[in-house]
């Protein structure tokens, strides 16, 4: 067994001993699976239709060419929906056929990209639900046969057998909007935090290693950013974009949050690099003439990866809450795209009258935030020697 495999096995054993960490991991995985498989859970188009002996899958084309304002996010999750079963088969075959499984997975991963690039969106206004029960036509729908944009329900319906979580003030199914809104929250949380991680790590490792004037200027810029409350800075930037008639979308929200949230990662990496920089083996590498790039990527970066991983987990929570707050105030993801913050905004006029719009998005945010926090705390106990006995 290699050293890395042994460490992963030991870390997993320690992680499993923490019930809160396992609960958080299950919550995160559950949220990701619900977001990825949303088209199979809630969809207004049949998963399978048999019409006079002709078989078709009407839901499949919009999977590759979504009829949604946020095409990139939808395509990313739909790609994962198709890729995960293939990855599962490759994982099962890895023991007997490791090389075949690896290359087959790589080939299929590339091939799956082609339909997303080649298939164009097509407007389909067919009311499949109205055609259900037509003689000679068999339709198999998703468990919740409604999409996030259809106005098929009554206005402000309470939870019932047809609409599990009720409907919003203009008659859209709340279950569908919750599922697809989860895609928005996870996309913003993961992508924005990843952008902040890359920027903060790059600046922090250079600042800690080179020091001198570069470190002095960088830290002064960081201090200027710290003077502004982060959420207030987000509001200012989003309002400026709105004044310039820039249409807000998930990509804009991701970029704004990512470009304003790198400060914490920068300070963390700089502090860790300053500690590692003073170790004798770093001096030995410099004396041996090792290139700076190799020294940073192969020696400094691995030594700061553990605290970065923990901070990344907690950073996702901050990005999710920032997006929800922006959408609640009307500066984030714009209608008709579903987002949990936007659903809460719809209940602002009368939270008790629209209690389903207050309760279910609020519970979803609470669940997701707690899940990432519990999982992050479990990681902290693994990598922090002082927390091992806690």
The domains of the chain are located at 176-387
Tens-place pLDDT, residues 362-378: 999 999 999 999 998 88
**pLDDT band, very low/low/confident/very high, at 388 (cuts 50, 70, 90):** very low
Tens-place pLDDT, residues 169-182: 888 999 999 999 99
What pLDDT sits at residue 244?
Answer: 66
Q: What is the mean pLDDT of residues 200-209?
A: 89
pLDDT at 240 over 80: no
Phi, psi for residue 48 in degrees, rounded to 5: -145, 135
CATH class, range 176-387: mainly alpha
pLDDT at 245 over 80: no
Tokens coding 220:
């002064």
Tokens coding 96:
């007997």
pLDDT at 383 over 90: no
Of residues 238 and 248, more confidently modeled: 238
Of residues 248 and 104, more confidently modeled: 104
**Which pTM does this prediction carry?**
0.89
Q: Are 350 and 340 in contact (CB under 8 A)?
A: no
What pLDDT sits at residue 33?
Answer: 95
Q: Are 333 and 184 in contact (CB under 8 A)?
A: yes
Tokens coding 174:
């709340």
Tokens coding 112:
């799956």
What pLDDT sits at residue 1?
Answer: 46
Residue 205 makes CB contacts below 8 A (sequence gap 6+) with 269, 270, 273, 296, 300, 301, 304
pLDDT at 110 over 60: yes
């Amino acid at each position: 067994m290699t050293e890395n495999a042994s460490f992963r096995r030991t870390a997993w054993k320690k992680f499993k001993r923490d019930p809160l960490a396992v609960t958080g991991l299950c919550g995160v995985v559950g949220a990701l699976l619900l977001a990825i498989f949303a088209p199979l859970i809630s969809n207004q188009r049949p998963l399978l239709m048999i019409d006079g002996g002709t078989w078709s899958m009407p839901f499949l084309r919009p999977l590759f060419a979504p009829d949604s304002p946020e095409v990139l996010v939808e395509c990313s999750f739909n790609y994962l929906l198709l890729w995960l079963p293939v990855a599962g088969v490759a994982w099962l075959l890895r023991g007997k056929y490791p090389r075949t499984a690896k290359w087959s997975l790589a080939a299929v991963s590339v091939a799956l990209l082609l339909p997303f690039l080649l298939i164009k969106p097509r407007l389909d206004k067919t009311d499949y639900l109205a055609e259900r029960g037509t003689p000679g036509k068999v339709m198999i729908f998703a468990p919740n046969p409604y999409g996030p944009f259809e106005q098929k329900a009554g206005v402000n319906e309470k939870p019932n057998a047809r609409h599990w979580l009720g409907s919003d003030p203009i008659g859209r199914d709340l279950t569908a909007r919750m599922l697809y809104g989860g895609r928005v929250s996870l996309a913003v949380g993961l992508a924005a935090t990843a952008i902040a991680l890359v920027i903060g790590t790059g600046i922090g490792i250079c600042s800690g290693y080179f020091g001198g004037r570069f470190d002095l200027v960088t830290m002064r810029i960081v201090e200027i950013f710290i003077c502004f409350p982060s959420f207030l800075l987000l509001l200012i930037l989003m309002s400026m974009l709105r004044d310039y008639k820039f249409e807000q979308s998930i990509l804009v929200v991701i970029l704004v949050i990512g470009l304003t949230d790198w400060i914490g990662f920068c300070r963390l990496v700089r502090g860790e690099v300053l500690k590692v920089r003073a170790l004798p083996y770093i001096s030995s590498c410099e004396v041996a003439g090792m290139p700076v790039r190799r020294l940073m990527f192969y020696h400094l970066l691995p030594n700061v990866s553990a605290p970065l991983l923990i901070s990344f987990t907690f950073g996702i929570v901050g990005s999710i809450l920032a997006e929800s707050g922006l959408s609640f105030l009307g500066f984030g993801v714009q209608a008709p795209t579903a987002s949990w913050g936007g659903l809460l905004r719809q209940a602002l006029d009368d939270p008790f009258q629209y209690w389903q719009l207050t309760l279910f998005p609020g519970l979803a945010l609470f669940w997701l935030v707690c899940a990432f926090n519990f999982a992050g705390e479990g990681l902290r106990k693994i990598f922090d020697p002082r927390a091992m006995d806690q």
